[in-house]
């Protein structure tokens, strides 16, 4: 068990399960994008660990860039998305793969997709380590999903509670 700021979290997805699934996603993306040179765009801060492991399993010549948006304060979505760091990379006519830690309501991803589309890429797909189907309210397509999970708060493997817990090797769920 892990305790952060008085909240208790219990193990939910093991390191082994995470790495196994991340490697499968990498292989699938490698096959689907064969012969192309995609740009992977990691969404900070949460996706840093997932992108790091995922990219090692992608056997293509890829570029890696980042964007930062914010919608969550503590344990809930504020309903408003803010851009904290825009995309510097020119992605016109490129195949873009957005890499996210978790799609919850989908509000952040809907916002990110709009920003990316403005830059006229050739294609856009989303890979998210986690997806909470019961919380999803936006009409977005997440092509590659690591795990579908219940609508409960999780931390670890990049995901935080009030800034803490990102360095945990496993995913934990609020007790």
- Residue from 29, 107, 113, 116 touching ligand IMP (CB under 6 A): that is 107
Q: Is 71 a residue that touches ligand IMP (CB under 6 A)?
A: yes
Q: Specify whether 160 is catalytic.
A: no
Catalytic hit among 93, 95, 101, 104: 104
89's tokens: 């990379």
Q: Kind of pairing, strands 171-174 and 154-155? A: antiparallel
Per the CB < 8 A criterion, the answer to whether 139 and 121 are in contact is: no
Strand, helix or coil for residue 97: strand
77 binds ligand IMP (CB under 6 A): yes
Strand order across the beta sheet in which 7-13 lies: 2-4, 7-13, 171-174, 154-155
Candidate list 72, 144, 157, 172; residue touching ligand IMP; CB under 6 A: 72
Using the structure block, give the residue that is written with the tokens 């995609």: 38
Which of ligand IMP, Mg ion, none interacts with 105 (beta carbon under 5 to 8 A by kind)?
Answer: ligand IMP
Residues forming contacts to Mg ion in the complex (CB under 5 A) are 46, 101
Residues forming contacts to ligand IMP in the complex (CB under 6 A) are 46, 71-72, 77, 100-109, 153-155, 159
Which residues are part of the catalytic machinery?
Answer: 104
């Amino acid at each position: 068990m892990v305790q952060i700021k008085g909240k208790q979290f219990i193990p939910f997805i093991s390191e082994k399960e995470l790495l196994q699934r991340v490697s499968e996603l990498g292989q699938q993306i490698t096959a689907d994008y064969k012969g192309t040179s995609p740009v992977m765009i990691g969404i900070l801060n949460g996706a840093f660990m997932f992108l790091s492991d995922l990219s090692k399993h992608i056997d293509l010549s890829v570029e890696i860039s980042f964007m930062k948006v914010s919608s969550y304060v503590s344990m809930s979505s504020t309903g408003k998305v803010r851009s904290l760091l825009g995309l510097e990379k020119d992605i016109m006519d490129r195949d873009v793969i957005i890499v996210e830690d978790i799609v919850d309501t989908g509000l952040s991803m809907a916002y990110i997709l709009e920003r990316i589309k403005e830059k006229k890429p050739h294609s856009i797909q989303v890979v998210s380590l986690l997806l909470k189907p019961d919380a999803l309210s936006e009409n977005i397509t997440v092509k590659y999903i690591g795990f579908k999970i219940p609508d409960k708060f999780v931390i670890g493997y990049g995901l935080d509670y009030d800034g803490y817990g990102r360095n945990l090797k496993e995913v934990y769920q609020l007790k």
